[in-house]
């Protein structure tokens, strides 16, 4: 089975030609965008066709279409509720001019995923968010949960990155043998995949006979991080002090779960080999970065592990605010104009955090603001150098590169962690003008860490 591209069937409900033109132009040719003007047409389309995401212009539902005999208007909440009933966890975005907090809460209860400002709609953010929120065809299973001699009622697949295909690895009812175990243990990434509609059933089977299910814990972390993304971009909570506090607490709760998961492994080497998501996405990069932060910060003797991991989790949230076409390219392929656009994400990350009134520590702010600074002074945004850059920020720069190089791209083979570390060191010595990208002290400490694991 071939791995799916990001091709989505998006339904837009609006009567506003300006909104229609803006949103239509923001999606690429791989997205099928259906635009309807009335609530009735929206409900008909939701009933008859597969939809992967819904965007509802709240203004479009104030019209002369009446609902039932009491002549009530079909509200955006009712369209949202109907869409959610048909397809649970369907990404539903509401565009509105103004929204009272009680209306925002009601919309959320009716299944709305995100509320955005229609007067100042950020199309980059809209595309970014739908990419983050989209439902996956396959979900990750960590093979550490599979027990030799047992069989499962769900097909498990192996992903071949070179061919971009999912191939059956363990059929439903087939016994997981020692031979199968050796096969996954010899691979560089120990992840298998189950189809989304069978995923929860499999997790129940995996967790029945064991105290700790690694796949279930990772899935719950991913779910909570997905929700954190939604909360960042929900305008109905902008500027609310109590919500900023809750958002921060939710973020640190995710870090505690990640630390617990990392500590379940017998050693850091095994964790690095088995746990991180092997394929790139915004969610995967944030979670992987936090995993690496927990492991690498301790290896480097840095004390504020939770702050480093939290900053690593959310450091790229500002990518939602820049041109999404830029993100499709490697940094080395960006033009000077595109590079300037890309650099904006550092400041945008902090803007989003401050907009939500999150009371982040000075260290977290410093890590995020400096994570693209280079030891030799060639980085951005301030061109800081040497000890002007905090060790914690330099560590995030290292682990961000580690995840980028460790991630399996289509057409490439997976690399082991030692190959990746070798690439990181070459990147340190070759990628900048004066040949020192990262803090040498951290390179030395991590070099010792990897040498001890061999």
Domain ranges of the chain: 9-133, 138-211, 219-453
SS3 (DSSP) at 267:
coil
Per-residue model confidence (pLDDT) at position 2: 42
Q: 173 pLDDT exceeds 70?
A: yes
Per-residue model confidence (pLDDT) at position 97: 76
339-345: Cβ within 8 A, 24+ apart:
343/372, 343/380, 343/381, 344/318, 345/316, 345/318, 345/319, 345/321
CB 55 within 8 A of CB 93: yes
Tell me the average pLDDT across 94-109.
65
SS3 (DSSP) at 51:
coil
- The percent of residues above 70 in pLDDT, for the chain, comes to 91
- Residue 344: count other Cβ atoms within 10 Å of its Cβ: 18
Cβ burial 141-160 (10 Å sphere, 16+ → b, else e):
bbbbbbeeeeebebbbbbbe
Strand duo 66-67 + 32-36: pairing: unpaired
Which residue in this structure is represented by tokens 């061999």?
A: 454
Per-residue model confidence (pLDDT) at position 378: 95
Per-residue model confidence (pLDDT) at position 122: 78
The tokens for 406 are 């460790």
Distance (Å, rounded) from C-alpha 111 to C-alpha 83?
Answer: 8
**Range list of β-strands (E), 17-143:** 32-36, 53-57, 66-67, 72-73, 92-96, 114-117, 138-142
Which of 58, 36, 33 is closest to 45 using CA atoms?
A: 36
Confidence grade of residue 76 (pLDDT, cut at 50, 70, 90) = confident
Tell me the average pLDDT across 177-202.
92
Q: 109 pLDDT exceeds 70?
A: no
Tell me the average pLDDT across 37-49.
90
For residues 404 and 86, the model is more confident at 404
DSSP string covering 114-179, please? EEEESTT--HHHHHHHHHHHPPPSEEEEEGGG--TT-B-SS-EEEEETTTTEEEEEE-TT-B--HH
CB 127 within 8 A of CB 324: yes
365-368: Cβ within 8 A, 24+ apart:
366/390, 366/392, 366/393, 367/307, 367/308, 367/311, 367/312, 367/315, 367/392, 367/393, 367/396, 368/311, 368/314, 368/315, 368/393
Q: 70 pLDDT exceeds 60?
A: no
Q: 104 pLDDT exceeds 70?
A: no
- Taking the CA atoms of residue 434, residue 440, residue 446 and residue 450 in that order, the dihedral angle to the nearest 10 degrees is 60
Peptide bond into 368 cis (omega under 30): no
The tokens for 56 are 């509802």
For residues 80 and 375, the model is more confident at 375
Q: Which of 118-132, 141-155, 334-348 has the lowest mean pLDDT?
A: 118-132
On average, the pLDDT of the chain sits at 88
Domain range 219-453, CATH architecture: Orthogonal Bundle (1.10)
Tell me the average pLDDT across 350-373.
95
Tell me the average pLDDT across 64-84.
63
Q: Which of 13-17, 162-166, 379-383 has the lowest mean pLDDT?
A: 162-166
Per-residue model confidence (pLDDT) at position 325: 83
Confidence grade of residue 296 (pLDDT, cut at 50, 70, 90) = very high
Q: What is the pTM of this model?
A: 0.90
Strand duo 66-67 + 72-73: pairing: antiparallel
Q: At what angle do helices 362-370 and 336-355 cross, to 10 degrees?
A: 170
Tell me the average pLDDT across 279-297.
95
Tell me the average pLDDT across 111-131.
81
Per-residue model confidence (pLDDT) at position 156: 97
Distance (Å, rounded) from C-alpha 302 to C-alpha 289?
Answer: 16
Please state which CATH number belongs to domain 9-133.
3.40.50.2300
Tell me the average pLDDT across 173-191.
91
Q: Which of 23-27, 94-98, 236-240, 286-290 has the lowest mean pLDDT?
A: 236-240
Distance (Å, rounded) from C-alpha 26 to C-alpha 35?
Answer: 14
For residues 332 and 334, the model is more confident at 334
Tell me the average pLDDT across 313-328.
90
Which of 80, 19, 75, 26 is closest to 53 using CA atoms?
A: 80
User: pLDDT per residue over 401-445, tens digit each?
Assistant: 999 999 988 778 889 999 999 999 999 999 888 999 999 999 999
Per-residue model confidence (pLDDT) at position 63: 46
């Amino acid at each position: 089975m071939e791995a799916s591209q990001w091709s989505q069937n998006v339904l837009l409900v609006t009567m506003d030609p300006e909104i229609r033109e803006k949103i239509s132009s923001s999606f690429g040719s791989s997205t099928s965008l259906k635009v309807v003007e009335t609530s009735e047409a929206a409900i008909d389309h939701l009933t008859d066709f597969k939809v992967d995401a819904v965007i509802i212009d709240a203004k479009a539902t104030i019209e002369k279409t009446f609902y039932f005999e009491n002549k009530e208007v079909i509200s955006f909440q009712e369209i949202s509720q109907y869409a959610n009933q048909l397809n649970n966890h369907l990404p539903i975005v509401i565009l509105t001019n103004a929204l009272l907090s009680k209306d925002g809460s009601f919309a959320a209860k009716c299944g709305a995923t995100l509320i955005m400002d229609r007067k100042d709609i950020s199309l980059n953010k809209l595309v970014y968010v739908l990419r983050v929120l989209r439902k996956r065809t396959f979900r990750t299973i960590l093979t550490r949960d599979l027990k030799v001699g047992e069989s499962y009622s769900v097909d498990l697949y192996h992903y071949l990155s070179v061919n971009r295909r999912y191939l059956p690895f363990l059929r439903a009812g087939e016994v997981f043998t020692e031979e199968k175990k050796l096969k996954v243990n010899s691979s560089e990434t120990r992840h298998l995949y189950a189809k989304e509609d069978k995923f929860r059933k499999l997790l129940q089977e995996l967790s029945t006979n064991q105290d700790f299910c690694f796949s279930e814990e990772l899935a719950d972390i991913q779910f909570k991080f997905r929700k954190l993304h939604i909360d960042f971009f929900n305008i109905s909570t902008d500027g609310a002090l109590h919500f900023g506090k809750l958002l921060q607490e939710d973020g640190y709760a995710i870090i505690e779960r990640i630390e617990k998961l990392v500590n379940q492994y017998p050693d850091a080497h095994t964790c690095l080999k088995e746990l991180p998501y092997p394929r790139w996405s915004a969610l995967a990069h944030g979670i992987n970065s936090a995993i690496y932060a927990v492991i690498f910060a301790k290896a480097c003797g840095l004390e504020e592990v939770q702050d480093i991991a939290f900053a690593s989790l959310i450091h790229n949230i500002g990518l939602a605010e820049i041109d999404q076409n830029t993100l499709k390219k490697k940094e080395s392929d960006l033009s000077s104009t595109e590079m300037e656009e890309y650099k904006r994400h550092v400041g945008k990350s902090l803007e989003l955090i401050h907009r939500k009134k999150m009371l982040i520590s000075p260290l977290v702010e410093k890590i995020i603001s400096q994570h693209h600074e280079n030891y030799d002074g060639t980085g951005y945004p301030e061109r800081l150098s040497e000890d002007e850059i905090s060790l914690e920020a330099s560590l995030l720069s290292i682990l961000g590169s580690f995840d980028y190089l460790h991630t399996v791209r289509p057409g490439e083979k997976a690399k082991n962690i030692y190959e990746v570390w070798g690439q990181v060191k070459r990147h340190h010595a070759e990628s900048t003008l004066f040949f020192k990208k990262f803090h040498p002290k951290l390179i030395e400490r991590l070099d010792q860490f990897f040498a001890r694991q061999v």
